[in-house]
Structure formats: C-alpha cells, structure tokens
Structure 1
Amino acid sequence: MLSGVNVALGVTGSIAAVKTVELAHELRRHGASVRAVMTPAATRIIHPWALSFATDHEVVEEITGDVEHVALCGRDGWADVFLVAPATANTAGKMAAAIDDTPVTTCATTALGADVPVVLAPAMHEPMYDHPGVLEALATLESWGVDLVDPRIEEGKAKIASEEAIATALARATTPRTLAGRHVVVTAGATTEYIDPIRILTNRASGRTGRAVARACYVRGASVTLVHDGPDVEYADVKRVETADEMLAAVSEACVTADALVSAAAISDFTADAVEEKIRSGSPLSVELEPTPKLIDSVRRDHPDLPIVGFKAETSGDDAAMVREANRIRDRVGLAFVVANDASVMGEDDTRVLFVAGEDDPADVEEARGGKDVVAGRVAERLARVLDGGSDADIETGTGTEGDEPER
C-alpha cells in the first residue's frame, strides 16, 4: 500500500509519541521508507535512539546549516509526504499560523509551501481538542489541503488514530485520485444462514480481500460503502449484514447512488427455514435448503448500466477452468471483469488471481499475485479504467438470468 513512499515523520510532545516506534515499523511493513523529525518536547517523552532504530535513519532533532527541513520537505526534497503524528494542539496551532520554531513546524512550513502532501494525526486531551482555537486551526489546515486523521475519542482523551488509519491516510495522500468523485459499493466476507438460534450455514471467507478492495478504492479517492458482517472501518461507510437477504437489501439500497459495484463477498447459495428453538442433538436430521437470490443478477436487473466487478472462486486448481467459469458468469450478467481465484487461498495472507475481461482471449486474462493490498490495488486500478471508458469498459450489460454459480 505504501511501496516506495518516503515518509517524513514529525513527532511532537504528546504522550502518544510512545506509539511512534510501532507506527514507524508498521509504515515500513507497508513498504514505506521513514525518517523522523522530533520537537524538543518529544525527545523528553521518547528517546531519539528508539526512532532511529525503528526507522533505520538518524533522527532530526534540530535544524542546522545542512537545512534538514529543505532536504526532507523542500520542492526537491526526499519526502513524498510529511506526517505529523502525534500532532499536539500547540503544533497544530503553530502550523496554521506559519510559526516554525521547532524542527517539526519548520518542516511543516516548508512542506506546505512546496506542495508536499501533509497528513496530521492529532492527539491530546479531549477539552484541548474541543477548544475553538484548536478546531479553527485544524479547519484552516484542512482548507490548505492537509489531510486529518481523526482521533479516537475515549476516556476523555482524543487518542491518536490507529496505525491502519494513519497508513491508509498516507496512501490516499500519495496515490493518484483515479476514483475521485465516484461512489463504489463493495461486498466482503461470508454471509450466515440460520438453521436454529445456534446452528448456521456459512463458509470460510474472511472478508480480508473485500475490505482491502474497499480501502484501495478509498485510497484512490472514491466514496465507499462496504457491506459485510464485520467491523467498522475508517475508509468506508459500513452496512453490517448477516444473511444473504440482508446483504441483497443493503446493496440494492446503496447502488441507487453508486457508480460501480464490486461483489467480493462469498454469499451463501442456500438458506434454511430456521426453527425458533434449538434442535436437539442425537437424532437423524434432514434440513430443507432453498437457493438464495443471486445478488449480481438482482442488481443487474435493477441497474442495467451499472459497472459490476464479480469474484469467482473455484476448487479445481486449473487456470483454464477458472477462466471458463469466470467468462460464463461475466457473459451471463454482463460484468466489467471477473476476478477468478482458487478457493485454496481463502484466508491466506498472499493470494493469486486472474483478471478475466474477455471471452477465451488470452490477452484479456491477466495474473496478479501478492498480498491482499497488492491485488486489491489492481482491482481498483482496473475499475478506474472501466469508469473512465478504458480498455475494460466494453461492458456487455443485460438483464441476466438466475443461475447456480456463487459470486465470489
């Protein structure tokens, strides 16, 4: 997600500075290079050696004749983005007033003047965060294009945002906004069908790929609605559902204003007529199963021109079979393209998929492999080309028919 991105990390005198060692490690895990700049107050909370170890670079503690602020954040400087995390009320106010009396504020003034993207992660006590002057300073910074990563309000404190939220904000600040102004609906994970109040029908899908796709679309500027049975995330408006019927209802509502749908969820193919009390164990049991409606068929029927991306999981392990099945669902529903994968990778950190965009033409099948974020980025890039009328935009739309294939 941050591969090849150079991050200048400004650390100020909040107690949340103790979290910056792990933050630096996390950014590097995502592929970024990190160099730290510290205020004098920050060095009294966490030793510069700790950040030197975490970043594998010397820490800037003062501005010298080497003009470190220009070398880092000038027009031809090292940094692709300047991150202030944690950002105190003091530092936010100084940045908004163009006061640069610490290494961090001097780098901030330089970055803002050089059009280097700036990301701010405030951390302070809640009454300080609610001070009208602080709110005005943050609003001023936002009006200048600074990206704010909202703090978590807990226990009377505006705590620094999660490492994931900060990494996502950095990716959004440094990635071309190819989906800016678009509303993308993404489904993720498994659905659940009840047999009784305790027993369920479900599958092994973790939802990690769908959530990664939602984040990749957000990073590229989209407004994202994520429909899943999972946690709230900072990069999308989450609609939480359990059953296939609930997912269909939520997606149908969200698609009224959508520019595209990415159907990455592993939706249950069958539902049962659930009973109200627990079924007693120890006796033979037969469960009557009924097929669930096909989500992409239903959406296509209601939105004949909506670009839809489908996912198709197969267990054969054969590429030709995966492409054949992907083309079958693509042609049936009129999909922009299909992401085909072997079901054996479900739940794994790394994955391998085939992008299928045209029937039986090897030139229209592209392989992608790597972590979930890597593959999700490829999905978002291809979707952006579709919406811009690029090579994947020859969408064969139609009303579709009911079938027996699961969307994956």
Structure 2
Amino acid sequence: MIMKAAVMTGVGRPLEILAVDLAEPKANEVLVKIVATGVCHSDLNALNDEKTPTPTILGHEGAGIVAAVGPNVSKVKVGDKVALSWVPYCGTCEFCVTGAVHLCESAFGPMFAGTLLDGTCRLSKEGEKVYHNSLLSTFAEFAVVPEMSCVKLPDEMPLAQASLIGCGVATGYGAAVHAAKVTPGSTVAVFGIGGVGVNAIQGARIAGASKIIACDVKPANLEIAKKFGATHTVNVAEDNVEAVLKALTNGFGVHFAIDCSGHTGATETAWKSVRKGGTVVAVGAFNPTMSLSIPAGGFHRVGKILKGSFYGDTQPFRDFPAIAQLYLDGKFMLDELVLDRINLDDINKAFDAFHDCSCINVGRSVIELSEQVAANVIDEYEEFEVVS
C-alpha cells in the first residue's frame, strides 16, 4: 500500500510529506487507518535526537479504525475504533504475569532500533527501509502495529480526543490513580502543569482528593489548572512552595505529591512538602546527568515513599476504556486538551510552536485525517497471505 506520511529525514530537519510503502500486517499485527494523532513534545525530542534512526515516521499518540487484522489477532476486529499504546507488553514475563505490565521490557529493544516487535519494518520507500517510531508511527495515513498496541474504545468515542489518551492523558491519570493511589479526602500537590500534569490533576479529582494544589512557574498554566480541578495554585518562582503547601494542610504537608516536571529540584521540594507517611511519585523523565538528593537524617522515622512511575503505571486495556468512558460520562476533560486541529501537511507548524514560549502547552495540536475507511482498503486486507 502506498500512503502519505510525514517523514523525518535528518536530525532537527523539518518533516517531509512523502509517499511511503506500507507492507501488510503479520500474524500478530493490525493495520489501522489513522484518523487522529497528537503532536507530543516527545516527538520533538525524537526529531532532535541523534540516536533516532532515519528515515523514520514519528508519532506515538494515535487513534483510528481497524482496517485489517492478522490471523492470530483476537482483541480487535475490522471496523473497531482503537486508541494506540506505544508500550505493548508481552503478557508472559515476570512483570506481566504479576500485573505490572508497565514494567515489561519487551518493547524497548525494537523501539530503540526503530522496528516492530519482531525486529523488522513494514515501512519502505523505493525499496529502502523506513523506520518505525515507538512501534506505531502515527504521522501517516495508516500504520501497522502490534495487536497489544490496539485498545478498543466505545463506538461513540470521538477519535481526536481518543488520540490523546495513549500518552500524556493516561500517564497523568495513572500517576494519580494507580501510582500514587490518591485516596478520597486527601491532599495532593502536582508539580509541572503541562500535558501530563493537568491529567494528574484530573486523576486526583476523580479519586476524590479534597485539595489539589497545582505548582508551576507559568501563571497561565496555573489558571488553566483550575479548569481541570485544581483547588489552589502555587507559583514556584515566587513562593516558598514547602511553606505554602504546609500552610494549606494544617502544617502537616500534603498526603501525595506528583512530580510531572522532570526536574530533580521539584522532586526534592515535593519530598519536603509531603507529610509523614506521604507519597511522592516522579513521573517526569529526569536528565540522566542530574542527581536527586533527599535528607538522610531521620529518613527511617518519616515513613515517606518515593516512587518512580513509568507511563503512570498504566495498564492500557484497563485504563484507556475507563478514561474514554469517564469522558463520555462528562467526568473527564479531553475536548479542552485539543488545542487545534491541523492537516498532516501542516505538521511542521505544530513542531514550530514548541519553540514559542508564548504558546499554551497544556494540550496538543491534533492532526486529523479522514475517518472514512475506504471499502476497497478493507476488502484488500481482510484476506491476505501472512508474511513469515
């Protein structure tokens, strides 16, 4: 199949809109018609990373309609609406069988190599290999992805909003609900009010927290945080965060602190700002050159927990449908996270916006493609010879 895609041809270069060949899915793979895909800051990181193999098709926040399935696929069928997870798991390793699927390592070797799970690619141009990104490559009209990346959603779920569930939304929600395990009536501080932070706020709200305190350097982000459920805000550039958080909690400190900033200094402040027995969850990715320092004196007496969380401890087949249903029930805000809707041809405008400090970063630009799956495409791929 020849399709249109936005291709990374070199580090830091604008993406090029090119015609790319997509091979048919193998036995455990799914062909998805991409209807919507968010442009995440992680895509910019990949574009600027010399380790990203080129040429490659970026994009890891996607949703679409199943156009074909391999013969071993059982979780989805042709015509299903799906949100895509960029971290498929094996289901059989020590972590998967105990329910910690977010700790499965099966995806990372192929992910870093730019292939699918079997170490090969389905993408090419003029006979030359084109690499996958995060096992998805959603900046294209179609994608061949692992079955374990495809999560069925309700038929009434709009796909622009669904596309955001697979990364920042699930990470933030999961950080509050699953990693921190926020309890009803508790107090929560969220550091870093971006695409992950606002969804940690939403997760804390849904979990029943009584006070949710948004902590950030941008006044505009703090105002936005209130719309998503923050009851209080702290400007970390102007205020003594530890003092403010303790003043809001009768001097004890918050029960839970969730750091979405990726800065070790914020995590250290979070540690000082939680009460005895409290929990700090660091969901932001630290720069590996950074170091994290917490007081050693009296460590054993305070009973605090410091927990790292990857993907918000998300279990996609549990959490994606749950978030979608919360949205459909009017309990989870996704419409407000769609900052603008653009065509694939305009993708570089979304990348340019990341360099504009005045642009709102609490949400995503969403690329929309046609929701109509051509009948001839489905007919072509319903019966195919599996490639070994």
Verify same fold: TM over 0.5.
no
If asked which structure has higher relative contact order (CA below 8 Å, sep 6+), I would say 2
Q: TM-score, normalised by structure 2?
A: 0.29
Higher helix share: 1
Pick the structure with greater CA Rg: 1
Q: TM-score, normalised by structure 1?
A: 0.28
